[in-house]
């Protein structure tokens, strides 16, 4: 209980930033084929938590830095009754930073970003669903794709991999400019409206292939195109449209870590020039080569650690650090992008599990200046595109899905939590 | 393949929509063939979220604004022009202090230790002003504040001692409270306080508390400092 650890490198900013309009809590969920049984889910959670002790840590404030402490208060599954990515109710020390919800056929895991990143949370969800199905008596096998509770915890899972892949150096500074901002009227009461669409991943991949692009590139291009169409009517804001795409560093820098280990790739198009979907796609393909190169990602790792190594920063008391981070973030970072699109890719489930899982969802939290964000996730052949938004206007989302159905004849299945709509 | 999805159609968007939805989430048009009996993907959000929102809005924003409008602004005008009544009196301060009490205890989710500390300061300040409006009598600084500090430190230490699990959470507030124990003596030095012994007692108690913290909780104490002060 008295064991403690420092926050990992990428996690430091999240507690400073967390507030009602920037919960820094994201959700990953699995929609099963049958209604979830809460009692079994609780049993599965009790088993899973033992395998992931770092996920139940709580954050405390120190004089100079925050730190994380193991917590032995048991986690309870809850019936979902609030909108996804709901901000923490109490102080970080009082409340679990990972929560498990169930509703109808859905099991959701909501995680505070300081604890882990999307792929860490997905590992947790996979184990949870696996243990749940096992407890139901289904014949599921881990097939080396699930970290089961019976397996030992690998020390590498607790590692801050940024330090492992750090190479001393001074990468060139990036000069960032502000991006086009999506604006609108906030829901009152404030909340997160989630509108989701399910499409066939293989059909979509075919369409992307015809244009010589990957699935992510195509969906990103379409998102930028719909934002562009909106922005071209808004003559006041002529800044470039920039969409940030989190990159899982584990793919290029092998690591088993369950803590934060990601970088961010920024894609940019001009909102002043005449654009077409094809033109945007070409720009994205070109930028992908650079953004996903090992050199650029290595520089991101170095930049991250260098920031931590600034000597004076270590002696600045935490409250002042918070103010600096908040201002840096809100004056620059949050406004440096138009929105975020995160893709957890194709979730590799064991063959014995796939018959029980219909689809998976990722919901990314909206922030103060990015009232609309997008999360993608594929399982079996079902790709779920989840838009979360905090404003009434939904033209971008509507056009996005209509484009897929009308232009390409895809079957798009739409559902929503209808926050702010049904009254 | 509709993945257990019971469906409906939006002709305008040419998409399938979950059967229980009454409007298309994309275009907002009313849908025919809605089947409310089909379970939805998301819960219907309880109204309490909304009513608590308006309740909070009232207490956290409207009440302070009303207070500022009704008392502070007229007082300021009075101060500047020298005409009218000064509203900044015992009654209005009582109201302000009571509001701080309600707003930051019942309506706030902040840490218990912080609430406790804040209310001690709130009450001390209120008593001090009560005491000094009109003719200064000094009962607040002479007696009430030193003894209140002693009692509250004792209470907080007792809670933390009983439930050691709380120690790391409360440490910062316990320490602050202990150091506040030296405040009355300081007030005596700058001649705000005229009576020495209650203030001296508070300072003495603060020293005893520090020693107690060091000896009884010392293992936790040291590990606490390692954590809190790492850089
Ligand atoms: Zn429609």
List, for residues A26-55, the tens digit of each pLDDT value.
999 999 999 999 999 999 999 999 999 888
Out of A384-393, B79-88, B159-168, give the one with best mean pLDDT: A384-393
**Contact residues, chain B, for A196 at CB < 8 Å:** 41
Separation of alpha carbons B98 and B123, rounded Å? 9
- Check: CB of residue A30 under 8 Å from CB of residue A360: yes
Residue B57 distance to chain A (closest CA, Å) = 10
HSE-up of residue B227 (Cα within 13 Å, Cβ side): 24
Residue B61 distance to chain A (closest CA, Å) = 15
**Residue extents of the structural domains in chain B:** 1-44, 52-107, 110-231
Question: Please, what is the end-to-end C-alpha distance for chain B in angstroms?
Answer: 56
Res A1: pLDDT: 40
Res B114: pLDDT: 83
Domains, chain A, with CATH or none: 4-147 (3.30.559.10), 193-416 (3.30.559.30)
**Given A382, A402, A411, which is nearest B16 (Cβ)?**
A411
Q: What residue in A sits closest to B231 (Cα-Cα)? A: A314
List, for residues B148-199, the tens digit of each pLDDT value.
999 999 888 888 777 766 666 677 788 888 888 999 999 899 888 888 899 9
**Given B111, B165, B228, which is nearest A91 (Cβ)?**
B111
In sequence order, what are the residues at sequence separation of 6 or more whose Cβ sits closer than 8 angstroms to the Cβ of residue A369? A181, A330, A334, A335
Res A358: pLDDT: 95
- CA-CA distances (angstroms) from residue A378 to A33, A55, A381, A403? 16, 24, 7, 20
Run of H or E including A384 = strand A382-389
- Give A316 or A32, the one with higher predicted confidence: A32
**Contact residues, chain A, for B15 at CB < 8 Å:** 197, 401-402, 405, 412-414
**Contact residues, chain A, for B39 at CB < 8 Å:** 104
- Check: CB of residue A26 under 8 Å from CB of residue A111: yes
Q: Lowest mean pLDDT: which of A4-8, A208-212, A419-423, B12-16?
A: A419-423
Q: Which residue has the tokens 């009598």?
A: B137
In sequence order, what are the residues at sequence separation of 6 or more whose Cβ sits closer than 8 angstroms to the Cβ of residue B47? none
Token output for B147: 């003894």
Residue ranges of alpha helices (H) inside chain B are 48-57, 63-67, 73-81, 90-101, 112-132, 139, 145-162, 167-180, 183-189, 197-216, 218-229
Q: What residue in A sits closest to B5 (Cα-Cα)? A: A413
Which pTM does this prediction carry?
A: 0.81
The average pLDDT across A88-95 equals 70
Statement: residue A144 has pLDDT above 70: yes
């Amino acid at each position: 209980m008295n064991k403690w650890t420092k926050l990992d490198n990428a996690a430091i900013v999240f507690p400073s930033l967390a507030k009602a309009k920037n919960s820094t809590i994201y959700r990953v969920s699995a929609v099963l084929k049958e209604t979830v049984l809460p009692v079994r889910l609780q049993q599965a959670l009790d088993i899973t938590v033992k395998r992931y002790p770092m996920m139940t840590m709580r954050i405390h404030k120190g004089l100079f830095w925050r730190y994380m402490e193991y917590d032995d208060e048991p986690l309870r599954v809850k019936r979902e009754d609030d909108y996804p990515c709901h901000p923490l109710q109490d102080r970080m020390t009082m409340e679990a930073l990972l929560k498990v919800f169930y509703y109808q056929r859905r099991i959701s895991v909501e995680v505070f970003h300081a604890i882990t990143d999307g792929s860490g949370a997905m590992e947790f969800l996979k184990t949870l669903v696996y243990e749940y199905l096992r407890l139901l008596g289904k014949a599921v096998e881990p097939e080396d794709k699930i970290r089961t509770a019976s397996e030992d915890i690998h020390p590498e899972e607790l590692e801050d991999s940024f330090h492992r892949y750090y190479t001393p150096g001074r990468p060139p500074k990036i000069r960032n400019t502000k991006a086009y901002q999506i604006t609108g009227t906030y829901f009152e009461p404030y909340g997160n409206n989630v509108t989701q669409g399910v499409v066939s991943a293989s059909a979509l991949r075919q369409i992307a292939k015809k244009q010589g692009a990957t699935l992510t590139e195509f969906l990103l291009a379409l998102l930028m195109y719909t934002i562009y169409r909106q922005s071209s009517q808004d003559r006041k804001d002529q800044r470039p449209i920039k969409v940030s795409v989190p990159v899982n560093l584990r793919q290029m820098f092998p690591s088993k870590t369950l803590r934060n280990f990601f970088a961010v790739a920024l894609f940019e198009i001009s909102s002043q020039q005449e654009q077409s979907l094809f033109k945007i796609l070409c720009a994205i393909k070109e930028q992908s080569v650079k953004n996903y190169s090992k050199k650029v990602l290595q520089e991101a790792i170095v930049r991250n650690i260098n920031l931590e190594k600034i000597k004076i920063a270590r002696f600045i008391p935490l409250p002042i650090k918070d103010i600096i981070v908040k201002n840096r973030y809100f004056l620059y970072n949050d406004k440096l992008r138009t929105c975020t699109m995160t893709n957890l890719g194709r979730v590799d489930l064991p063959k014995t599990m796939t018959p029980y899982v219909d689809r998976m969802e990722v919901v990314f939290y909206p922030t103060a200046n990015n009232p609309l964000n997008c999360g993608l996730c594929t399982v079996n052949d079902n790709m779920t595109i989840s838009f979360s938004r905090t404003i009434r206007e939904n033209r971008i989302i509507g056009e996005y899905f209509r484009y897929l159905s009308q232009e390409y004849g895809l079957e798009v299945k739409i559902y929503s939590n209808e926050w702010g709509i049904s009254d | 393949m509709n993945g257990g999805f019971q469906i409906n159609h939006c002709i305008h968007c040419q998409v399938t929509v979950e059967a229980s939805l009454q409007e298309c989430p994309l275009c907002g048009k009313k849908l025919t063939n809605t089947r409310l009996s089909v379970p939805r993907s998301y819960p219907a959000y309880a109204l309490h979220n909304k009513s608590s929102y308006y309740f909070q809005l009232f207490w956290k924003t409207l009440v302070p604004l009303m207070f500022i409008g009704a008392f502070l602004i007229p007082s300021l005008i009075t101060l500047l022009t020298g005409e009218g009544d000064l509203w900044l009196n015992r009654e209005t301060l009582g109201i302000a202090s009571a509001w701080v009490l309600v707003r930051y205890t019942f309506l706030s989710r902040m840490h218990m230790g912080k609430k406790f500390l804040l209310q001690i300061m709130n009450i001390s300040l209120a008593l001090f002003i009560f005491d000094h409006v009109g003719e200064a009598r000094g009962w607040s600084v002479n007696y009430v504040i030193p003894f209140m500090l002693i009692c509250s430190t004792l209470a907080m230490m007792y809670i933390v001692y009983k439930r050691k699990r709380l120690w790391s959470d409360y440490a910062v507030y316990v320490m602050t409270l202990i150091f506040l124990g030296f405040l009355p003596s300081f007030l005596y030095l700058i001649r705000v306080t005229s009576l020495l012994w209650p203030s001296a007692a508070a300072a003495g108690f603060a020293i005893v508390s520090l020693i107690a913290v060091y000896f009884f909780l010392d293992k936790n104490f040291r590990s606490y400092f390692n954590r809190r002060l790492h850089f």
